[in-house]
Amino acid sequence: MKILGPDKCIHCGKCLPACPSYRLLLEENASPRGRNLSLAHRIETSKLELCLLCERCAKVCPQGISFPINYILYKLNNKSPNKLYTISNKLASFRNFPLHYILRKKISEKSLERVSNYYTESGDFYVYASCGLRVLYPDAFLNFMRLIGKFPVHLPKSAECCGIIHLALGDLESVKWRALRFLEVFCEEKPVIVFCATCFWMIRRVYPLLFMGDEREVTFQNLAERTYFVFDFLKKGLSIEAKMIMDDGILYHFPCHLSLPLTSEEIHLKSIIKAQDFCCGSARLFLWKEGFPRNYRKIWREKTRGKYYLLTLCTGCYLNFNLLLKEPPKIGHWMEFIR
């Protein structure tokens, strides 16, 4: 992974309109440009913590500088005590996660069983049963299984959270532990299929970063290279063309963590399906305090006016939209609407 440090920022300002947290706060030191300056001079500021980890700045930067990537490296190299470890450990348990109580009405034991009935110990490729796939949108998995027919799938029962909650809270040691656990579960040299954009970004971008210079770096790079987002794998791995239901009442949302591009299908999916990539702000709990979701909810309402469904590809986006939007639209996963 080629990484340009924050000192290489030319302060052109192209990142400002692309950064969701800057657009909310309109403060220079809350922009990627301002944060890069602080990071380059090793100046600790609370504004560093308001980064959404979306990497929209990297996509528009003429230098290709990613503040989130540089900030993760900074945290790795400056292992100061983190007061958020305790909070992070509590949030790791879905039982103690505050959103659990809000979403209880949407989750039943029956929905949990729907995916668990398919757990297998072997197959031609892995499917990562992430939190979202198991709990929030199991129909996406079931429709995927219907679509692929007789292809043997390896669905490990022991798969756990990718660690995005820990990363958002700055608990990198917990993220590293989860990365090692992921590698242990998905150890065979075969493709890993992911349904959540943020999980996909964690495996492809963050895991190799955490082990740079380590003897395990090559192993995590290999894991990243054999990890596919579900639509990419359908087309490239199984030669199945995804045909989405097209309806004026459906809005397809394209999450930031599928860009850069991390998927070869990005242009195809966004142009054919006319998907929109507005921000949900889910990865940073600190921004809830700053009023991020409340402010951006106005944008969501405008975009979803007259829509019956808002379909996304990310667990965090799914959670935020469900928490802050009333039906209609009903929130779902793209794979639920594939033919």
* Count of the separate structural domains present in the chain: 3
**Residue 45 maps to a domain:** yes
- pTM for the predicted model, two decimal places: 0.90
Q: Are residues 60 and 156 in the same domain?
A: no
Contact 337, 310 (CB under 8 A): no
CA atoms within 13 A on the CB side of 73: 21
What pLDDT digit, counting tens, does each position of 305-323 carry?
A: 999 999 999 998 998 888 8
Q: Are residues 124 and 210 in the same domain?
A: yes
Long-range interactions of 84-88: CB distance < 8 A, separation 24+: 84/169, 84/170, 84/171, 85/171, 85/173, 85/174, 87/169, 88/165, 88/166, 88/169, 88/170, 88/171, 88/174
Q: Are residues 23 and 116 in the same domain?
A: no
Q: Are residues 95 and 231 in the same domain?
A: yes
**Per mean pLDDT, which range of 99-108, 130-139, 198-207, 223-232 is the poorest?**
99-108
- Distance set, CA 284 to CA 32, 80, 211 (Å): 15, 20, 23
Q: Are residues 232 and 254 in the same domain?
A: no
> Please, what sign has the CA dihedral across residues 255, 260, 265, 269?
positive
What is the predicted pLDDT for the residue at 77? 85
Q: Are residues 198 and 229 in the same domain?
A: yes
What is the predicted pLDDT for the residue at 103? 53
Q: Are residues 199 and 285 in the same domain?
A: no
**Residue 152 maps to a domain:** yes
Q: Are residues 158 and 224 in the same domain?
A: yes
Q: At residue 34, does pLDDT exceed 90? A: yes
Angle at the Cα of 147 from the Cα atoms of 144 and 152, rounded to 5 degrees: 75
**Residue 179 maps to a domain:** yes
What pLDDT digit, counting tens, does each position of 63-110 carry?
A: 999 999 999 999 888 865 454 444 444 444 434 444 544 455 555 555
Q: Are residues 208 and 282 in the same domain?
A: no
Q: Which domain holds residue 28?
A: 6-66
Q: Are residues 101 and 230 in the same domain?
A: yes
Q: Are residues 184 and 297 in the same domain?
A: no
What is the predicted pLDDT for the residue at 87? 46
Q: Are residues 44 and 148 in the same domain?
A: no
**Residue 52 maps to a domain:** yes
